[in-house]
């Protein structure tokens, strides 16, 4: 039973490019969460999605960031026109429900040159 799979593990982009981060939740989990860990900081909630719906995106910057969780396929966190400040570790987690423990992926380390 595979855990939460995130890819790529490391992603390097130049300023102005787009970054796409993928997250496949655990089998049977319909809730997906994205978090960001900036250097020297803790985990910050970004967005919570259920299949095809964004439930809460209060932690996600209004500009350049978007997330989706289509009916088929992984959840995608998309960052357009990346800037240096987007360099961070992005973690995805999934759970069967909001009051259930979340299982985390290994994260994607995004570096912006």
Nearest-approach distance from CB 41 to other proteins, in angstroms: 8
Return the C-alpha torsion angle 2, 73, 15, 42, nearest 10: -40
State in Å, rounded, how far the first CA of the chain is from the last one: 36
**Maximum CA pair distance of the chain?**
39
Nearest-approach distance from CB 14 to other proteins, in angstroms: 26
Nearest-approach distance from CB 105 to other proteins, in angstroms: 6
Residue entry with tokens 């900081």 = 41
Q: Tell me whether residue 14 or residue 42 sits nearer to other proteins (CB atom).
A: 42
Residues making contact with other proteins (CB under 8 A): 33, 35, 41-45, 48, 55-56, 58, 91, 93, 98-107
């Amino acid at each position: 039973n595979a855990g939460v799979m995130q890819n790529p593990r490391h992603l390097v982009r130049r300023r102005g490019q787009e970054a796409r981060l993928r997250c496949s939740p655990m089998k049977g989990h319909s809730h997906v969460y994205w978090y960001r860990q900036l250097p020297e900081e803790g985990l910050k909630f970004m967005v919570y999605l259920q299949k095809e719906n964004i439930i809460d995106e209060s932690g996600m910057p209004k500009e350049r960031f978007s997330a989706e969780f289509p009916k088929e396929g992984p959840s995608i966190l998309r960052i357009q026109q990346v800037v240096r400040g987007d360099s961070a570790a992005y973690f995805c987690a999934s759970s069967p429900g909001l009051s259930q423990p979340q299982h985390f992926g290994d994260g994607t380390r995004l570096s912006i040159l």
